[in-house]
A and B are shown apart, each in its own frame.
Chain A
Amino acid sequence: MKDIKVLGTGCANCRNTIKLIEEVAAEKGVAITLSKVEDLPEIMKYGVMSTPGVVVDGKVVHAGGVPDRARIAGWL
């Protein structure tokens, strides 16, 4: 079970990122818990400066822009 968090203040790119991760996870049949972090102080604790950021099992793997499918598949 992968624990994935998407960091972002609710802009369009953040929503697209979440949707894309859900899709890729469903395609590959990987079980994930996906959660959104929208609180700014909370986001800043991860040290990312551009949103959306993606955190997999507590580790920041991506910051800024919607990640592409291949990259998401790599995390899973």
Chain B
Amino acid sequence: MIPWLIGLAVAGALWFAIYGHLTEFADAVIAALGLARGTAIGEAVHFFFYDTPKVLLLLSGIVFLMGIIQTFFSPERTRALLSGKRVGVGNVLAASLGIVTPFCSCSAVPLFIGFLSAGVPLGVTFSFLISAPMVNEVALVLLFGLFGWKVAALYLGLGLAVAIVAGLVIGKLAMERYLEDWVQRILTGTAPEFAGERLTWVDRFRAGWRHVREIVGKVWPYIIAGIAIGAAIHGYVPEDFMASIMGRDAPWWSLPLAVLIGVPMYTNAAGIIPVVEALIGKGAALGTVLAFMMSVIALSLPEMIILRKVLKVPLIAAFAGVVACGILLVGYVFNLVLG
């Protein structure tokens, strides 16, 4: 315990020291390379060397904290919290728990069945399943780091809203019969309970560290690639280039098109957000771009293929349709309010 606390104190101090000197670092890199701000290459390089360390620092810090928080919200615990909750309250709770419960799309199916077999209603289960991948700490950290807290908060609020409302709608449609037959058979029997493991604080710190290695280890190439593309757009694409395609002057169908293009794209928030930031800098409308981002993250083809093992086609179609409508609505509202 003591070595962990000392290590964390040192790491924390170091973190804040570095975070406070990011601009100086990027300026120094520019100077060392003999470049000047204001030129295309200078702006691009500065963008890259300012944003990369910033995002990686923010990400490591938050992911560590989330790794610790998640040890308090095992899927088993979340299920216990949700079972027996009424529709409505249950949807709100499910979407919120989706943020803090560890989730990976490879566990989506066991989780789905686990929830249903504990008596969590189908619509509430979907609220969780929509919120968990879409409203995650990686997306929020990147939005916060690149756009500031307002956009991050809006994304959080609207992401939760989409998950809650989509879950309510799916619940209303009463599509339980579109679960695969073997799932329905399991649901009539009772599954044995696994109570979960006892954890000490050292276990939780370890879990946080493991989370950092797992998440940051996985996403850093995407972040660097994303920021590099973003940097190129930042330096070289002319101002207002995006305004006619994805901006305020774009025709109404640019938003549905952006959502549609997002579905087969499967990248994590880490890769897409730096590109998105650069696009917005060039005149793309925030709502269109956020909708695009949500559809890339929340509606992914691989996840639907996994879910096909437990859901029949009409239910998957309803899921995708309802979520897509929610995202579209978010995009239009955003463009209307901010435009």
Q: Do A and B come from one complex?
A: yes
Q: Which A residues are closer than 8 A to B by beta carbons?
A: 8-9, 11, 13, 40-41, 43-51, 53, 60-65, 68
Which stretch of B73-81, B89-97, B248-256, B260-268 is in the interface? B73-81
- What are the 5 A-B residue pairs with the smallest beta carbon separation, nearest first? A49-B114, A11-B106, A47-B192, A47-B191, A49-B75
B3 at the A interface (CB under 8 A): no
Known: A64-B102, A68-B206. A47 touches B111 (CB 8 A): no
Contacts A44-B186, A64-B75 known; A49 to B111 CB distance under 8 Å? Answer: yes
Q: For residue A5, give the distance in angstroms from its CB to the closest CB of chain B.
A: 13
Given A44-B186, A65-B102, A65-B210, are A51 and B110 neighbors across the interface (CB < 8 Å)?
A: yes
Which listed residue, A13, A40, A68, touches B110 by the CB 8 Å rule? A40
B99 to chain A, nearest CB (A): 16
Q: What are 8 A-B pairs with beta-carbon distances under 8 A?
A: A40-B110, A44-B113, A48-B114, A49-B75, A50-B111, A51-B110, A63-B194, A64-B74
For chain B, the bracket of interface size reads 20 to 34
Return the contact of B197 from the options A13, A47, A51, A62 (Cβ within 8 A).
A62
Residues of A within 8 A of B102 (CB): 50, 64-65
Classify the secondary structure of B's interface with A. Answer: helix
Contacts of B107 in A (CB 8 A): 49-51, 64
Assess the A43–B194 pair: CB atoms within 8 A.
Answer: no
Output the least CB separation between B213 and chain A (Å).
11
Q: Assuming A13-B106, A65-B210, A68-B206, is B194 touching A46 (CB within 8 A)?
A: yes
A3–chain B nearest beta-carbon distance, Å: 17
Please state if B194 and A60 are interface contacts (CB–CB under 8 Å): yes
A46→B102 CA distance, assembly (Å): 20
Q: A13-B106, A46-B194, A48-B194 are in contact. List 13 more A-B contacts (CB 8 A).
A: A9-B109, A11-B106, A40-B309, A40-B310, A43-B110, A44-B191, A45-B192, A47-B114, A48-B114, A49-B110, A50-B111, A60-B194, A64-B74
